[in-house]
Amino acid sequence: MSSKPVIGTCNICGAYGSLTFEHVPPRSTFNSNEARLYPYGEWLLLENTGRGRYDQQQRGSGYYALCETCNTVRGNQWYVPEYRDWVWAGAEIVLALKEQPPPPDTIIRVPLHGVRPALFAKQMVMMLLALNKPEVAASFLELQEYVCEREAVGLPSRFRLFLSLLNVEVARYGGLYHAFNVFTGAGFGATDLLYPPFAYTLTIDEEAPEPRAGEITWFTTLAPDDMRDVELRLPYNVTVMPPDELPPALG
């Protein structure tokens, strides 16, 4: 923990002032121990060469990135309790899959009962914004409003959310970068976080999108307290972004 106040701009709401330490993912979701967190480019180097630079964080992965309101109210009070239930459920599934690994490219059925999908989606967007610079939220005000206003519903079609089950030893985060469709070559923006038991991805301006397993964009069409029984179809140890090429950083 920093011994001096950290002053800066909140990565989510844009307020300037004292910043708090934000665990990403939240501390109560298996993020309280020492962690090695790899930026996207260094993770690719690790995959290809066995060596990559990482951030050594003693009390779990996180950043001085959020104001007190975004951290304690919007995050911990509004969204984290629901999000934590999803992570614990995902962890049980991943543990079972570790004992009996499925064949490659298997889509896992994940039934969840009495959940609030919108609150999970809001926490997911909040985490991805927290990983980026304040300019990202300022550039995509719809994402900022969706997180900052608890009752906000819906996102423009240019934004898509994806979720997959994940069982890996190395966490990864990717600030906003250029990605591409491997079939059409069309480029689009993406930002992601890989932290078991889930991988989270947000894409921006993905042209001619085709349906694929793991898309949860429809969560954003629900009201925050809309309770549902859902059955997700999630990829296992497969992320949306291709792992073999580093897209150039945006900005």
Residue at 183 is within a domain: yes
Q: Taking 80 as the threshold, does the pLDDT of residue 36 lie above it?
A: no
Tell how many helices (H) and how many strands (E) occur in the chain.
Answer: 6, 11
Based on the structure, what is the number of domains in the chain?
A: 1
Strand duo 35-39 + 171-180: pairing: parallel
What pLDDT does residue 150 have? 97
Residue at 83 is within a domain: yes
CA geometry: angle 75, 81, 84, nearest 5 deg: 105
Averaged pLDDT score across all residues of the chain: 82
What pLDDT does residue 196 have? 87
Q: Are 249 and 177 in contact (CB under 8 A)?
A: yes
Residue at 205 is within a domain: yes
The kind and range of the H/E element at 160 are strand 159-165
Tell me the whole-structure pTM to 2 decimals: 0.82
CA geometry: angle 162, 167, 173, nearest 5 deg: 55
The whole-angstrom separation of Cα 126 and Cα 50 is 31
Strand duo 62-66 + 198-204: pairing: unpaired
Residue at 247 is within a domain: no
Residue at 33 is within a domain: yes
Neighbours of 175 (CB within 10 A): 17
Residue at 18 is within a domain: yes
Terminus-to-terminus CA distance in the chain, angstroms?
30
What pLDDT does residue 124 have? 96
The CA-atom distances, in angstroms, between 127 and each of 9, 25, 59, 196, 233 are 16, 7, 17, 14, 22
Q: Taking 60 as the threshold, does the pLDDT of residue 204 lie above it?
A: yes
What is the span of the domain harbouring residue 204?
A: 6-235
Residue at 87 is within a domain: yes
Name the residue among 87, 126, 128, 127 with its Cα closest to residue 110.
Answer: 87
Residue at 241 is within a domain: no
What pLDDT does residue 123 have? 95
Segment 120-124 mean pLDDT? 97
Helix, strand, coil distribution of the chain in percent, nearest 5? 30, 30, 40
What pLDDT does residue 230 have? 96
What pLDDT does residue 250 have? 35
* Percentage of the chain lying above the pLDDT 70 cut: 75
Q: Are 131 and 195 in contact (CB under 8 A)?
A: no
Q: What are 138-196's pLDDT values in tens digits?
A: 999 999 999 999 999 999 999 999 999 988 776 777 788 888 777 677 889 999 988 88
